[in-house]
Amino acid sequence: MKIQEVLSYIEQLAPRHYAEDFDNTGLLTGDSNTEIKGILVTLDCLENVVDEAISKNCNLIVAFHPIIFSGLKNLKPDNYVKRAVVKAIKNDIAIYATHTALDNAKYGVSYRMAEELGLKNIKTLIPQRGIIKKLVTYIPKSHFEMVKEELFKVGAGKLGNYEESSFSINGTGTFLGNEKSNPMIGEKGKRSTIEETMLSVTFLPHLESIVLKTLFKSHPYEEVAYEISTLNNQYDHIGMGAIGEFKEEMSANQF
């Protein structure tokens, strides 16, 4: 198994798109195509943590806080940050940081803390905006259901506690292929008029690559017409902090 496979799994739980703009999440050192030997999980990747990874033959350190938070002007080992980074590089150890990507994720750090405190009716304290994307595409009626179902399978149309959400409307599409075209419907050099259905589905940004790959694979047209936009809607399931209620009232001292 390569390091990238582990990172892909982590990013399913805590996609880097969820991180705050000021943060430095993701792979900080190392080659993600390296075969994995062992994983060390830590809060902070200090020099003694790198030493432990070396002694335990772990070549991936998954840290909560990023050891590199802002730019390094050099790699002289003259402070604890650069000493840890240099030692990791010399020993082919990859360092990955989750930080606010995990903070902001659904069921992330704050949510788990709220659960441990026994809170109920847990909600996100500061929900994110601009995190939802929308795909609009145009599909011939003969292939509409098939394309829609394939998009649903990879996570399009999922919003909070609801899945397979979409909107569609029937209309008429036209196109005229040149001599190099190979139209599935109609003839090259002649304008075609086709009954099509417009499909609109939302998705989260870390799914964009697989959503587009699925669209292109399942759509019958040689050239697929589509639009992707970012919505400024608030998304209550992703964001910083958590707030909830105790099952029974208690004083601050009791808490």
Residue where the block lists tokens 């086709």: 194
Strand partners, 134: 202, 229
- Closest by CA position to 236, among listed 120, 104, 110: 104
Feature table: binding site: 65, 103
Largest CA distance in the chain: 80
pLDDT digits (tens, 9 = 90+) for 22-74: 999 999 999 999 999 999 999 999 999 999 999 999 999 999 999 999 888 99
Look at residue 159 in the predicted model and tell me its pLDDT.
Answer: 86
Residue range 111-130: mean pLDDT, rounded:
94
Q: List all residues 6 or more positions away from 26 whose beta carbon is below 8 Å from its beta carbon.
A: 16, 96, 97
- The confidence band for 250, taking pLDDT boundaries of 50, 70 and 90, is confident
Look at residue 37 in the predicted model and tell me its pLDDT.
Answer: 97
Secondary structure (DSSP) of 135-178? EEEEEEGGGHHHHHHHHHHTTTT-BTTB-S--EEEEEEEEEE--
Look at residue 160 in the predicted model and tell me its pLDDT.
Answer: 83
Neighbour tally for 36: CB within 10 Å: 17
Look at residue 185 in the predicted model and tell me its pLDDT.
Answer: 85
pLDDT digits (tens, 9 = 90+) for 155-176: 999 988 899 999 999 999 999 9
Parts of the chain belonging to CATH 3.40.1390.30: 3-102
CATH class of 131-231: alpha beta
- pLDDT higher than threshold 90 for residue 129: yes
Pick the CATH number of 3-102 from 1.10.760.10, 3.40.1390.30, 3.40.630.30, 3.10.129.10: 3.40.1390.30
| Cα 43 from Cα 214, distance rounded (Å) | 37
- pLDDT higher than threshold 90 for residue 89: yes
Ramachandran angles phi, psi of 146, nearest 5° = -65, -45
* 227 vs 249 pLDDT, higher one: 227
Residue range 221-244: mean pLDDT, rounded:
95
Is residue 49 within a helix (H) or strand (E), and if so which, with residue range?
helix 47-55
Residue range 183-206: mean pLDDT, rounded:
93
Q: Considering the chain, what percentage of its residues have pLDDT values greater than 90?
A: 90
Q: List all residues 6 or more positions away from 48 whose beta carbon is below 8 Å from its beta carbon.
A: none
- pLDDT higher than threshold 90 for residue 11: yes
- Closest by CA position to 131, among listed 25, 211, 238: 238
- The confidence band for 254, taking pLDDT boundaries of 50, 70 and 90, is confident
* Residue 55: alpha-carbon gap to chain centroid: 33
Look at residue 28 in the predicted model and tell me its pLDDT.
Answer: 97
| Cα 71 from Cα 202, distance rounded (Å) | 35
- Closest by CA position to 133, among listed 153, 105, 154, 159: 159
| Cα 205 from Cα 229, distance rounded (Å) | 11
Parts of the chain belonging to CATH 3.30.70.120: 131-231
- pLDDT higher than threshold 90 for residue 101: yes
Is residue 12 within a helix (H) or strand (E), and if so which, with residue range?
helix 3-13
Name the DSSP class of 36. Answer: P
Feature table: binding site for a divalent metal cation: 65, 103
Dihedral sign for Cα 196, 199, 205, 207, please.
Answer: negative
